[in-house]
Amino acid sequence: MLAGRLEGNGSFFVREVETPVPGPGELLVRIEAAGICGTDRHLFRGEFPSRPPVTLGHEFSGIVEATGAGVTRFRAGMRVTGDPNIACGGCAQCRRGRVNLCENLVAIGIHRDGGFAEHVTVPENQAYELPLSLPPERGAFCEPLACCLHAVDKAEIRAGASVVVLGGGVIGMLTVQLARLAGAGSVILATRQAVRRSLAEEIGATGSFDPAAQDIVPGIAGPDGLLPGGADIVFECAGVAETVRQAPKLARSGGTVVLLGVLPQGETVEIEPFDLLFREVKLLTSFLNPFVHGRAAALIASGAIEVDRLVSRCIGLADLPDAIANPPRPGEIKVLVMPGLA
């Protein structure tokens, strides 16, 4: 079969490899769609540790073609999405229930072969069923949605809460929608590209803000801002120092900031502890998707989350090396790899 292989830093090729055979407790899945994530580009550049040679692709879904010995919950012909993060279950963090912090975490598409291929093997315990009636592209959104769901759960949004989301990539767009579903009364998305601000307002944001046009702190939290005094909850979904710095200043006294964005390791950001303390701003971080992939799959299956409009392009495996090696095109939100395409 064909697979997109990371073979070392800056070295990514699509080549013929053996079709994998499902081991005991594993499913052989024919990939229908796999999303390209910023992490794949970090892996390509060697900015995140991985285990090359390895097939990348950790956001994927497809059809079960075969099952290994002992599989009981799935059979050939079912559509599934895979939670890529495999926790060991035995380390101190797993035994505390913090599986996203597992000391021996193995991720499909990072440490073992993933979904940028015609087939992938997935442990049965990592798979969740999706309806066959679902358009195949949508299944690839379960993994990023699960990461946003963990963040929204941590924020403990109450009905009517005010929310600011910084960054209008796929993570920001999904967080906007989850915040509304969780009961937020107002959700403002701040992102520089106008096309993204309009899209966000069409899919659930109650307003948007252009941080390039005016200073965001007075523009949102100032006395004449969109949310005078600040928001109950601020989600940082841009992954840049500027928005991390801004986030606490956009939260109201007693409000909550949730950091999702990934900054390069070693990069630091100045935060004013006095301001955090005297306004009792809660600063939280959200990493991966512990115990929420099933709920994300259910949300995708229900159609409650708009994902079709987040798909910028669908490409075949042949175009994958170019897409991985280059930054996203202007305006692009999510590129899907569909091995079935020529």
- Site size for ligand NAP (CB under 6 A): 29
Q: Say whether residue 190 binds ligand NAP (CB under 6 A).
A: yes
Q: What is the rounded radius of gyration, in angstroms, for the C-alpha atoms of the chain?
A: 20
Nearer to ligand NAP, 12 or 209 (CB): 209
Q: Say whether residue 291 binds ligand NAP (CB under 6 A).
A: no
Q: What is the distance, to the nearest Å, from the Cα of residue 194 to the centroid of all Cα atoms in its chain?
A: 22
Q: Say whether residue 219 binds ligand NAP (CB under 6 A).
A: no
Least Å from the CB of residue 61 to ligand NAP? 17
Strand segments (E) across the chain: 2-8, 11-16, 26-36, 54-55, 59-67, 79-82, 85-86, 106-107, 119-123, 127-130, 162-166, 186-190, 207-209, 231-236, 251-259, 282-285, 311-315, 334-337
CB contact at 8 A, 142 and 297 = yes
Q: Say whether residue 286 binds ligand NAP (CB under 6 A).
A: yes
Helices (H), the chain: 38-45, 92-95, 142-155, 170-181, 194-203, 216, 241-250, 273-278, 293-302, 320-325
Q: Say whether residue 261 binds ligand NAP (CB under 6 A).
A: yes
Contact window for ligand NAP (CB under 6 A) among 3-11, 177-185, 189-197, 217-225: 189-197
Q: Quick one: CA torsion of 222, 224, 230, 232, rounded to 10 degrees?
A: 180
Binding residues among 92-151 for ligand NAP as defined by CB under 6 A: 144, 147
Least Å from the CB of residue 100 to ligand NAP? 8
Least Å from the CB of residue 144 to ligand NAP? 6
Q: Say whether residue 43 binds ligand NAP (CB under 6 A).
A: no
Nearer to ligand NAP, 284 or 338 (CB): 284
Binding mask 143-172 for ligand NAP (x = CB under 6 A): -x--x------------------xxxxxxx
The residue to which tokens 């109650």 are assigned:
206
Q: For binding to ligand NAP (CB under 6 A), which residues are involved?
A: 38-39, 144, 147, 166-172, 190-193, 196, 211, 237-240, 242-243, 260-262, 286-288
